[in-house]
Structures are given as structure tokens and as C-alpha cells.
Amino acid sequence: MADVVVVGAGIAGLTLARLLSENGATVQVVDKAGYPGGRLSSRTVAGRLVDTGPTGFQVTDPEVAGVLQRWAPDALSCQLSGGRWDFSYRSSARAVAAELATGLDYRKVLVNLLADVGQHTHVVLTPPAPQVQTIASRSGIEHAGLAAITYEKAPGPARGV
């Protein structure tokens, strides 16, 4: 039994899992996708790997910069200028996610209910709020703060007249 199951292997879930592991916890990461990264992702388009999410990180906190350099030394390159660390991908976002997931117990699981992850001491849900709301309500969990989160619909691309 893991001390903590982290649901979601986006950058939030991966960084949490690495921090917990480094501090001695037994951690399992589950994600509905067969690979880590979530929106930190790349896709093959016409034979080329294309990043579909953020294309780098700009960091001003030295502690965060240090952690990224330690956890993804091969996948990230970094330049420091004017107190800001600019991280870019040496190959792809997918490679960054894979390196961030190094050493983690990663399993492909679609979580519909909290019971889908089995019995563990702690479960942390890191998917976006609407998905967490669904998992919580299907599992019979009422949480006023979670229920109050709403998303504004982003304006879509302009359509032809």
C-alpha cells in the first residue's frame, strides 16, 4: 500500500510525487494516459514531434530553478539572465515529462471514483477542477470550496463570416 496515491501525472502531480518521494514517502502516480505529462505534452504531426502545451519555463525562484535542474538535467537546458532562469526543452515536452517521472511508480488508471485507486492512506487529486468535482461527487464527497470553483469559457477562435 502506498503512503500517497497522486491522481494525475501533469506537472502538478509529477512535482508533488517527486517531492514526496524525496522526503521518504511511498508514492504511486496514476493517470488515465499511458504516459506522463498531461498538458506538458508533444504529439507526432507529419512525422515530427510537436509540443502541444507550454514550450518552456521562465522561473524567478532559485529553489524552483534548482529543483528543475536536478530533476530534468538531460531534458532541459537553462540560461540565467537578470535574475530569471529560462528553461527550454532540449528535445521535447514529452522528454521533460518522462525525465520528471524518473523513478516514480506510474500506472495507467482511469479514475472515475476514489475507490478505483484502492485503499491508501492519502489520495491527492491533481486533474483540473471540473474533473476533480466529478470524481468527488461520484464518490459521495461534498466539498463547498471545490463545488464553488467555476471556469470561464475561453473565447474561441474567430469564425469566418
Ligand X SMILES: Cc1cc2nc3c(=O)[nH]c(=O)nc-3n(C[C@H](O)[C@H](O)[C@H](O)COP(=O)(O)OP(=O)(O)OC[C@H]3O[C@@H](n4cnc5c(N)ncnc54)[C@H](O)[C@@H]3O)c2cc1C
126 binds ligand X (CB under 6 A): yes
Q: Which of 2, 7 has the CB closer to ligand X?
A: 7
Residues pairing with 85 in the sheet: 59, 80
33 binds ligand X (CB under 6 A): yes
What residues between 50 and 69 interact with ligand X by CB under 6 A? 53-54
Those residues with Cβ within 8 angstroms of residue 124's Cβ, 6 or more apart along the chain or in another chain: 4, 5, 6, 7, 13, 16
Name the one range near ligand X by CB under 6 A: 65-73, 78-86, 128-136, 140-148. Answer: 128-136
Q: Give SS3 for 132.
A: helix
Residues near ligand X, by CB under 6 A: 7-13, 30-33, 38-40, 53-54, 110-111, 126-128, 131, 135
